[in-house]
Structure 1
Amino acid sequence: MRDPGIAARRLREEGILKGLTLLVLVLAAAGLSLYRFRIDLTRDRSFTLSPASRALASILPEPVRVTYYRSAALADLHPGIRMAQDLLTELEARGSGKIQVLIRDVPDKPGRLEALGILPRQLQVESGGEARIATVYAGVVVEYLDDFRVLPSVLGPERLEYEVVKAIRSLTSGVVPVAALRDGDGDKDPEGDFRLLRAALVRAGYEVRVSSRGTEVEPDVSVLFILGNAALGEVDVDYINRYLESGGGVFAAVRGVLVNPDRNLEARPLGPDPFLDLLESYGIGVRRELVLDTSSLSVPFQVQGPDGRTTYRYVRYPHWVSVDRENVDSSHPAAAGYSGLDLYWPSPLEISDRAGPGARILVRSSTRAWRQTRDFATAPEEESRYRDEEEATRGQYVLAAALPPSGGRKGRLVVAGSSDFLTDLMGMSESEGNALFAVSAADWLCSGDDLPLPSAGAAPRRLRLPEEDALRRRTVFAVYVFNILVVPSLAGLAALLRSARRSRREREGRAA
């Protein structure tokens, strides 16, 4: 027989344990209401905010409102929308009441949004088993006091934290960064030949203006783009050097070999060049050579046939180097958020000890690149001579580098060994990632080191075929066979198996 005293003691102990458990749960709930605790389980830490984002509340004198406008159906149709909302919610949670995030459906009459700069875009969606084209809106408005900034297209978390933090800093400081474009080759129009670059900078929040050769760099310029170097004289170089020494940021897109499209792509190495001499004094040498790479673009060239008619012929053109993700240092802010980069007629760079310990290589060619050092063959009819120096010069070469302030130079410097890759040629070759690379570099050149890095892991990836011709042909053939033979055969086999299973069940039913 059970002792009544023991039973009573156990009941008291169970009551005490239940009470302590309830007390712990109440205290935990109270603590979670006062202190937010979140765990980011995503592989690339997509929802872990940077120190700059977590510190925003401490630098905000007044609250900021962030409104995410998106078409109502988008959250169900596009997974990136929900991820963007979650990231903004995390930002609000870290804002200590200083950051208000609103999620709003696009109104039936979106004229106000379009006036702000949130424009419609076309997306292919599936509904009821049918694919259709839907007109949707997705953009962010960041408001502070009586001013605002607009992120016109936000379909996912990529670059969202980066852009929102940059917009908030711009609003609270009241300063609009200025990007000045200076044509250094003398054969281009900064207004007409760099429209895609200008548009990307404007979308990123920059005021864009032209900086003419032979003039001093205006003191309010945040970043100066030197677009070419063949026509820069001593006066220009002196002005640029003074701007760098005073703390200005410079993006230099330069060349060591001049390729003239108006003379059938005639190429010649540059002679003495004051601006290249300045770069060498900083520790970045630009060789008077061309880098060619098996990782390259196919380019349509206009050719005349035997009958005199003009046609277009696509040529695998190793002078237009297509840079793969693994050859970009996306851990550096100037190259973060890589989404493709193509360099036209690039020259190799050499980094010397004068660049200092903080110098970083941003972009390299593939290991299957080579150089042309003499007798430059660049025209399509010279295709047989493209690889004359391949065996002697095969290797990997530096194509872009970044220098932090050093010595008497207070400004930052980014150098790319191609003076044409930021022209509107990028539209023809579908290389709009070049402009995004320039924007990332510009942000680093005129901003602090603590800006959150744009998400490189989530950037759009290019589908690339193997570089080796034989392997490329085998891959194309395998894909062809898979799509034309294997997929239909599997579909037919599945249909036969399903039909056989149904027939068997019918026979079993009749037999029963």
Structure 2
Amino acid sequence: MMRRPQHIVTLLLTLLVLVLVGLNSAFYFVRLDLTEQRVYSISAVSRALVREIPDNARITFYLSDRLRTQAVETEQIVDLLYEYAAHSRGTIDVEVVDPAAAGVTAEIEQLGVMPQQIQLIEQDQQSLATVYTGIVIEYLDRTHTLPVVIDPRVFEYELTIALRNLVRDHTPQIGILLGRADEALEREYQLSASRLSRRFTLRQLAAAEPIPPDIDALFVIGGRDLTAADTAMIHDYLSRGGSALFAVDGVKVDLQTPNLAAAPAPRRPVDELLEEYGVRVRREIVLDEYHRSIPVARAGGAGTFQSIEPYPAWVSVVNYNSDHPVSARFTGLDLYWPSPLDLDPALDFEILLQSSSRAWLMQEPLITSPLQPAALQRDAAETRGRYVLAAAGGQQNQDRGRIVVVGDSDFLSNLLQYTNSGHNVDFAENLAAWLALDDELLSLRTRAARDVRLNRIEDPAARSRVAGFAQLVNVYLVPLAVAFYGLMRYLRRRSRAHAKPRTERSTTA
């Protein structure tokens, strides 16, 4: 009879402990995350940021209930939001709101939350629904909106950068200097500019204009029309500690001609500037067995039709420097008619990207027509090898800032829509963060990004070994392990069944 009060006291104490743990979880957050790079937890950079926020911030996740029940990844985003709040020690307030139920769809659209049309299957019925999955961040008198939030892999990067820019009231500025006078950022580079402008303030600079001191990094794209006065301004900016990307190639390809006529670029002031820094852009084109395809118009009996042809001059980069912050967790890059780079070994340039060992060069006379596949292979036997496609320098040079050179002026142009190369902009964001000396931003960008596809393993023998091992494990070892476990269970039960009658006979005796 005395045990019952003890059980009641034990139960009450257990409930009290659970309540206290729940109350303290708002201030002390612990999670066991055993994944590589701890991708299901916010990083040390994010934790440090939210703990230093001096005033209260409010994060409202406008998430439609209909989408929440269909997309499980939204629950991971909600979970991460509450982790932000827990680590903030009370300065961040998080709320998840269904806009339709709250009747605020018009208001949040004015704030920039974008409605999305998705197909839903509910009760065996397929329907088209308008849903919302956007975030509004309020801090003091400032507001920032993430129009669409759906991918947990990039969510921490987007939210932490938005919070940091709001708290510091500063967004990094990237100056864009186009080396071809007939181009415009909003026309020839519309796709990449729209993506980059979500993270940075983009400013297109006029030729021969002094580069403002508040520019955090400079992108020099192309060099055909840059004069000596332009490169003098660039040199002055770099000597003041500025950093720059040079996307410059040694061959000009005429996109208006049917056969994509190509010719070596004449020597330009930008070449002299780069050679002063230790980089020479060669007047050749790198072609590679790792490449993309190109749409080609062909003549037919009833007119013209379009076909998709393999095109080695559009190189898919698979060989990267895993030790450099820019390319540490490389997700891919496609280059269009890239030129190889020669680096001065006496200077501090480091290779970022290379072609595969199965690449070759197109030398003069240059043939780039996708309708002449045999001609594209003309110089393959004599020039087969690995070539430098991008390099970075300036880390140890006190006389200038950081420099990156990519042997292609088109990798951020609208050509990327033909190869579905959104990862080109991801690479550009990494470059911008590193050039702007924003290593915190870069650590977030590269935290979860990694290309683990087997077809990205360059060495055919290594790729074959990995594929064979995967087949061995999945096709043979796993089924054999299950069968072995079942056999052991069967033998164990059989042994027990035989032992039981012997025990009963001994007891009877």
Q: TM-score by structure 2 length?
A: 0.78
**CA distance in structure 1 between the aligned counterparts of 2:61 and 2:90, rounded to whole angstroms:** 18
Contact 1:66–1:143 (8 Å) recurs in 2:
yes
Opposite residue 292 of structure 2, the aligned amino acid is L
After TM superposition, the structure 1 = structure 2 runs for residues 158-177 of structure 1, keeping only pairs within 5 Å, are 158-177=153-172
* Residue number in structure 2 paired with 1:380: 370
* Residue number in structure 2 paired with 1:493: none
* Residue number in structure 1 paired with 2:263: 268
**CA distance in structure 2 between the aligned counterparts of 1:422 and 1:208, rounded to whole angstroms:** 14
* Residue number in structure 2 paired with 1:200: 195
Question: CA shift at 1:29, angstroms?
Answer: 4.7
Contact 1:182–1:190 (8 Å) recurs in 2:
no
Question: CA shift at 1:371, angstroms?
Answer: 1.5
Contact 1:248–1:410 (8 Å) recurs in 2:
yes
* Residue number in structure 2 paired with 1:152: 147
> In the TM superposition, what whole-angstrom CA distance separates every residue of 1:184-232 from its partner, at most 9, and x where no partner exists?
133422332111122112222x332321222211222222221101222
* Residue number in structure 2 paired with 1:278: 273
| Aligned counterpart in structure 2 of residue 453 of structure 1, from 444, 451, 469 | 444
**CA distance in structure 2 between the aligned counterparts of 1:228 and 1:180, rounded to whole angstroms:** 14
Question: CA shift at 1:354, angstroms?
Answer: 4.3
**CA distance in structure 2 between the aligned counterparts of 1:27 and 1:313, rounded to whole angstroms:** 66
SS of the residue 1:220 aligns to: coil
Contact 2:50–2:84 (8 Å) recurs in 1:
no
Question: CA shift at 1:462, angstroms?
Answer: 8.3
Question: CA shift at 1:437, angstroms?
Answer: 2.2
Opposite residue 412 of structure 1, the aligned amino acid is R
**CA distance in structure 2 between the aligned counterparts of 1:360 and 1:80, rounded to whole angstroms:** 38
* Residue number in structure 1 paired with 2:338: 346
Opposite residue 226 of structure 1, the aligned amino acid is V
Q: TM-score by structure 1 length?
A: 0.77
**CA distance in structure 1 between the aligned counterparts of 2:123 and 2:78, rounded to whole angstroms:** 26
SS of the residue 2:69 aligns to: helix
Opposite residue 214 of structure 1, the aligned amino acid is A
Judging changes above 3 Å, is the alpha-carbon distance between structure 1 residues 467 and 178 closer, same or farther for their aligned structure 2 residues?
A: closer
Question: CA shift at 1:119, angstroms?
Answer: 1.0
Opposite residue 141 of structure 2, the aligned amino acid is D
**CA distance in structure 1 between the aligned counterparts of 2:30 and 2:384, rounded to whole angstroms:** 53
Which segment is superposed worse, 160-169 or 131-140? Answer: 131-140
Contact 1:143–1:149 (8 Å) recurs in 2:
yes
Opposite residue 454 of structure 1, the aligned amino acid is R
* Residue number in structure 2 paired with 1:72: 65
Opposite residue 343 of structure 1, the aligned amino acid is L
**CA distance in structure 2 between the aligned counterparts of 1:310 and 1:97, rounded to whole angstroms:** 65
Opposite residue 71 of structure 1, the aligned amino acid is S
Opposite residue 312 of structure 1, the aligned amino acid is Q
| Aligned counterpart in structure 2 of residue 91 of structure 1, from 75, 78, 84 | 84
* Residue number in structure 2 paired with 1:191: 186
Opposite residue 377 of structure 1, the aligned amino acid is I
Judging changes above 3 Å, is the alpha-carbon distance between structure 1 residues 41 and 405 closer, same or farther for their aligned structure 2 residues?
A: closer
**CA distance in structure 2 between the aligned counterparts of 1:331 and 1:121, rounded to whole angstroms:** 39
SS of the residue 1:101 aligns to: strand
Contact 2:433–2:439 (8 Å) recurs in 1:
no
Question: CA shift at 1:42, angstroms?
Answer: 3.3
Opposite residue 388 of structure 1, the aligned amino acid is R
* Residue number in structure 2 paired with 1:313: 307
Contact 2:262–2:366 (8 Å) recurs in 1:
yes
**CA distance in structure 1 between the aligned counterparts of 2:383 and 2:366, rounded to whole angstroms:** 14
Question: CA shift at 1:380, angstroms?
Answer: 2.9
Judging changes above 3 Å, is the alpha-carbon distance between structure 1 residues 78 and 295 closer, same or farther for their aligned structure 2 residues?
A: same
Unaligned runs of 5+ in 1: 1-10, 469-512
Contact 1:334–1:442 (8 Å) recurs in 2:
no
| Aligned counterpart in structure 2 of residue 257 of structure 1, from 241, 251, 255 | 251
Opposite residue 344 of structure 2, the aligned amino acid is S
Question: CA shift at 1:460, angstroms?
Answer: 8.8
| Aligned counterpart in structure 1 of residue 408 of structure 2, from 411, 418, 424 | 418
> In the TM superposition, what whole-angstrom CA distance separates every residue of 1:341-376 from its partner, at most 9, and x where no partner exists?
2211111223433442xx543333233222113322
**CA distance in structure 1 between the aligned counterparts of 2:327 and 2:355, rounded to whole angstroms:** 15
Judging changes above 3 Å, is the alpha-carbon distance between structure 1 residues 99 and 338 closer, same or farther for their aligned structure 2 residues?
A: farther
The yes-or-no answer on 1:435 pairing with 2:428 is no
After TM superposition, the structure 1 = structure 2 runs for residues 347-366 of structure 1, keeping only pairs within 5 Å, are 347-356=339-348, 359-366=349-356
Judging changes above 3 Å, is the alpha-carbon distance between structure 1 residues 57 and 261 closer, same or farther for their aligned structure 2 residues?
A: closer
> In the TM superposition, what whole-angstrom CA distance separates every residue of 1:451-473 from its partner, at most 9, and x where no partner exists?
342256467988979999xxxxx
* Residue number in structure 1 paired with 2:40: 47
Question: CA shift at 1:316, angstroms?
Answer: 0.9
> In the TM superposition, what whole-angstrom CA distance separates every residue of 1:384-419 from its partner, at most 9, and x where no partner exists?
210112122223333223334432444222222110
**CA distance in structure 1 between the aligned counterparts of 2:451 and 2:147, rounded to whole angstroms:** 18
Which segment is superposed worse, 288-297 or 59-68? Answer: 59-68
Question: CA shift at 1:135, angstroms?
Answer: 2.8
**CA distance in structure 1 between the aligned counterparts of 2:330 and 2:59, rounded to whole angstroms:** 26
Judging changes above 3 Å, is the alpha-carbon distance between structure 1 residues 159 and 328 closer, same or farther for their aligned structure 2 residues?
A: farther
Contact 1:182–1:225 (8 Å) recurs in 2:
yes
Which segment is superposed worse, 263-272 or 383-392? Answer: 263-272
* Residue number in structure 2 paired with 1:485: none
**CA distance in structure 2 between the aligned counterparts of 1:329 and 1:463, rounded to whole angstroms:** 18
Judging changes above 3 Å, is the alpha-carbon distance between structure 1 residues 283 and 100 closer, same or farther for their aligned structure 2 residues?
A: farther
Contact 1:413–1:445 (8 Å) recurs in 2:
yes
Judging changes above 3 Å, is the alpha-carbon distance between structure 1 residues 217 and 85 closer, same or farther for their aligned structure 2 residues?
A: same
Judging changes above 3 Å, is the alpha-carbon distance between structure 1 residues 68 and 248 closer, same or farther for their aligned structure 2 residues?
A: farther
Opposite residue 147 of structure 1, the aligned amino acid is R
SS of the residue 1:261 aligns to: coil
Opposite residue 227 of structure 2, the aligned amino acid is G
**CA distance in structure 1 between the aligned counterparts of 2:69 and 2:22, rounded to whole angstroms:** 34
**CA distance in structure 1 between the aligned counterparts of 2:123 and 2:81, rounded to whole angstroms:** 31
CA RMSD in angstroms, aligned pairs only: 3.5
Contact 1:333–1:453 (8 Å) recurs in 2:
no
Question: CA shift at 1:120, angstroms?
Answer: 1.9
Contact 1:336–1:456 (8 Å) recurs in 2:
no
Question: CA shift at 1:379, angstroms?
Answer: 1.5
